[in-house]
Amino acid sequence: MRGSAPHPRRTPGHRRARTAAGALATAALLLPLLGAAPSDAGTLAAGTSAGALQPAFAAAAAEYHVPRSVLLAVSYLQSRWDTHGGAPSVTGGYGPMHLTDARTALARAPHHSEGTEDARGDSARAPLHPVARIPADSELPARLKTLPKAAELTGLSPERLRTDPAANLAGGAALLAAAQKDLGEPPSKDPAEWYGAVARFSGADDSATAAAYADDVYAVLRSGEARTTDAGQRVALAAQPDLAPDTSQLRRTGLRTPRKAGTECPSSVSCEWIPAPYEEFGDNDYGNHDLGDRPASQSIRYIVVHDTEGAWDGVLNLVQDPTYVSWNYTLRSTDGHIAQHVKAKDVAWHAGNWYVNAKSIGLEHEGFLANPDAWYTEAMYRSSARLVKYLAKRYGIPLDRQHILGHDTVPGPTTSTVPGMHTDPGPYWDWRHYFELLDRPLKATGGKKGGLVTIRPDYAGNQPEYTGCVTSGQPCAAHGSSEVRLYSGPGETYPLIKDIGLGTTPTTGVNDLSSRVSTGQQYAVAGQDGDWTAIWYLGQKAWFRNPAAAPAAVNATGLVVTPKDGAADVPVYGRAYPEASAYPAEVPAQAVSPLPYRLPAGQEYVVGDKVPGEYYYAVTFSTDSHRVVTGQDLYYEIQFGHRVAFVRAADVRVAPSAG
């Protein structure tokens, strides 16, 4: 998608509006008041600054008789103890306890409803451009109104709860204490006796999500954590490896049982089946995905990470409409809950490139690209990582950036589609942390003469300027980023690198990918000049600042491709389609259409997979005519620019990287 400035809620305009059964029905999280606020609640919040966050946890825990370790662990799962400068999360959550006030949350049409990208990405069928809109306001679920409830419980103003970290902690402690009381449990000093209250604190309306959330909190309690927050505060939680919570408390929470039957998820997450419809309508038209037989008919090689650019209910409405697009899973920000919509064997319409769609699984994360401080919760990051690890193991998908793609790294399938391709999840998705959760931390794999670099800036400290988050051309709020900017020479006075496929002058716009590389991506080194490193990028030598004291990349080794001897350059493709002779008579041959780029002699690009040309023919509702066409031509996937690309194996030679 293309992130955009916030705009007012749109009225429903969906030409086939349907009720998202089960998605819009949310049970309220009813927390009783504790009575009058403690007389010194205001003093507590006012007297403890963000410069003393660790003591603030102790003070809030003592005031509301919640074990300090429980408060610390819950806060870690909400925000990793970050304050985000008082800015709201994607669901209007504030502060280290992620207290929600959805009146402040952004709401807009989901990203598949905007822009020019055809989510299906197959020229054999008419382009698909949804015009769906989010539903009108309805009664907000309790999980999006915890900050007003905390204000009632503590007597602190909503503004204080949003902006003062110590007040925010007090509000979270009050909510936990209220949940404990509601369950009929005493305010025990034993962390093991707070499992039910922690489950209720999640705001989930079903028992599986609440349990998964509580299990994560207790995993943090057992392992312990320590880190420096975004405000520069060192916070630590001692490990309690033998802690065993009373999980029987979950039965008294009164939460619903989700529709888990049929889901393809690991047992460590909460997963619900909310199916995308496969229906026929109109004149030989159908949606919103294709039935398949993966991995028997064709391999699954990619997982594509999206953000929704819309709120949970509106996104679920869109995926349940047969006339438009689909993806395999949606992940909720507040608690990490997962809804599955399309089976892995089937092909969802989500990435804008039919070759990638046919070989991928799409994950939509509740969030907004162009609002840097509209942050994602740790609960969602962890839930997503568990799902990705499960899928990667099940289908043999390597855990690297050439297989775990952002929507922003999916190539346009043809030249005309390049400018309209989507840019989510954008520069504020924390890929470094995500790969740590995938148990594949991004480390140096070579020395100075390894010939490659893996992009790996310090997320919090790496704050390149972006524009257009709120107002076109105006600077975005300073914020940590996964991306590093590229210049045409070794210094910021040089012009930005240009992407000829976009046909525009490069800018610092939050959606302009022309001169950016992302954490985890690998490139061949093309030069060094002081603190600046050059890489081969889009057929050019591109420079980024990479000082030894604060490196933006680490050294690596691997395989690279370069044109075969005698070739001045070779074409680059956005899809790996078979040669024309591979198609049977009943399947129209698809053009092997090069992109506007060339890979010049003397340049090297990092290799991903070696794959045969493959095309999934599926343009009718009846599956009788569906075919997977596999050719003799082989391709290499390469990291060519910000997006991946493909080159014909016959055009290039492969060699180990070398400095």
CA dihedral in degrees (146, 151, 156, 161; nearest 10)? 20
3-state secondary structure of 159: helix
Are 170 and 213 within one domain? Answer: yes
Evaluate whether residue 552 is within a structural domain: no
pLDDT for position 34: 27
Each residue of 593-609: pLDDT tens digit? 999 999 999 999 999 99
- Rounded to whole angstroms, the Cα distance separating 119 from 110 reads 13
Confidence of residue 184 (pLDDT cuts 50, 70, 90): very high
Are 338 and 248 within one domain? Answer: no
Are 277 and 413 within one domain? Answer: yes
pLDDT for position 115: 63
Are 621 and 574 within one domain? Answer: yes
Evaluate whether residue 636 is within a structural domain: yes
Are 585 and 648 within one domain? Answer: yes
Are 110 and 219 within one domain? Answer: no
Decide the pairing of beta strands 347-348 and 289-290: antiparallel
Evaluate whether residue 519 is within a structural domain: no
Mean pLDDT over all residues of the chain?
Answer: 87
The answer to whether 313 and 278 are in contact (CB under 8 A) is no
Q: Which of 21-35, 275-289, 522-536 is predicted least confidently?
A: 21-35
Strands annotated E in 378-467: 404-406, 452-455
- Provide the sign of the torsion angle of the four alpha carbons 337, 374, 92, 219, taken in this order: positive
Does 169 have pLDDT greater than 70? yes
Residue 496 per-residue DSSP state: B
- Rounded to whole angstroms, the Cα distance separating 525 from 327 reads 36
pLDDT for position 373: 52
Share of the chain above pLDDT 90, in %: 72
Q: Which of 12-16, 162-166, 306-310 is predicted least confidently?
A: 12-16
Q: Which residues contact 335 (CB under 8 A, 6 or more apart)?
A: 143, 202, 203, 204, 209, 210, 212, 213, 270, 377, 379, 380
Does 10 have pLDDT greater than 50? no
Confidence of residue 20 (pLDDT cuts 50, 70, 90): very low
Confidence of residue 124 (pLDDT cuts 50, 70, 90): confident
Evaluate whether residue 507 is within a structural domain: no
Are 184 and 275 within one domain? Answer: no
Are 362 and 409 within one domain? Answer: yes
Each residue of 519-574: pLDDT tens digit? 999 999 999 999 999 999 999 999 999 999 999 999 999 999 999 999 999 999 99
Confidence of residue 44 (pLDDT cuts 50, 70, 90): very low
What is the separation of C-alpha 609 from the centre of its chain, rounded to a whole number of angstroms? 23
- Rounded to whole angstroms, the Cα distance separating 341 from 117 reads 21
Q: Which of 63-72, 314-323, 379-388, 612-621 is predicted least confidently?
A: 314-323
Are 130 and 212 within one domain? Answer: no
Does 218 have pLDDT greater than 70? yes
Confidence of residue 185 (pLDDT cuts 50, 70, 90): very high
- Provide the sign of the torsion angle of the four alpha carbons 217, 404, 617, 299, taken in this order: negative
Are 378 and 289 within one domain? Answer: yes
Evaluate whether residue 7 is within a structural domain: no
Q: Which residues make beta-bridge pairs with 567?
A: none
The CATH number covering residue 408 comes to 3.40.80.10
* DSSP per-residue codes, 568-606: SEEEEESS-PPPGGGS-TTSPPPP--EEEEEEETT--EE
Does 298 have pLDDT greater than 90? yes
CA dist list (Å): 19 to 25, 128, 274, 341: 10, 22, 12, 15
The answer to whether 392 and 303 are in contact (CB under 8 A) is yes
Most confident by average pLDDT, 127-141, 242-256, 469-483: 242-256
Last residue of a domain, one of 378, 396, 427: 427
The answer to whether 143 and 29 are in contact (CB under 8 A) is yes
pLDDT for position 139: 60
Confidence of residue 8 (pLDDT cuts 50, 70, 90): very low
Are 205 and 336 within one domain? Answer: no
Are 326 and 216 within one domain? Answer: no
**Residue 401 belongs to what domain range?**
104-144+258-427
The CATH number covering residue 199 comes to 1.10.530
Residue 22 per-residue DSSP state: T
Q: Based on the structure, what is the number of domains in the chain? A: 3
pLDDT for position 144: 85
Does 577 have pLDDT greater than 80? yes
Of residues 358 and 113, which shows the higher confidence score? 358
Each residue of 454-465: pLDDT tens digit? 999 999 899 999
Confidence of residue 9 (pLDDT cuts 50, 70, 90): very low
Last residue of a domain, one of 399, 427, 455: 427
- Rounded to whole angstroms, the Cα distance separating 225 from 466 reads 32
Confidence of residue 128 (pLDDT cuts 50, 70, 90): low
Which of 410, 405, 409 is CA-nearest to residue 354? 410
Evaluate whether residue 30 is within a structural domain: no
Evaluate whether residue 318 is within a structural domain: yes
pLDDT for position 261: 78
Evaluate whether residue 68 is within a structural domain: yes
- Rounded to whole angstroms, the Cα distance separating 117 from 112 reads 8
Is the bond leading into 425 cis (omega within 30 degrees of zero)?
yes
Written as one letter, the residue type at 499 is: D
Which of 204, 202, 208, 183 is CA-nearest to residue 193? 183
Judge residue 617's burial from the number of C-beta atoms within 10 Å of its C-beta, 0-12 exposed, 13-18 middle, 19 or more buried.
buried
Structure tokens at 640: 């060519």
Q: Which of 105-109, 169-173, 294-298, 614-618 is predicted least confidently?
A: 105-109
Last residue of a domain, one of 427, 453, 486: 427
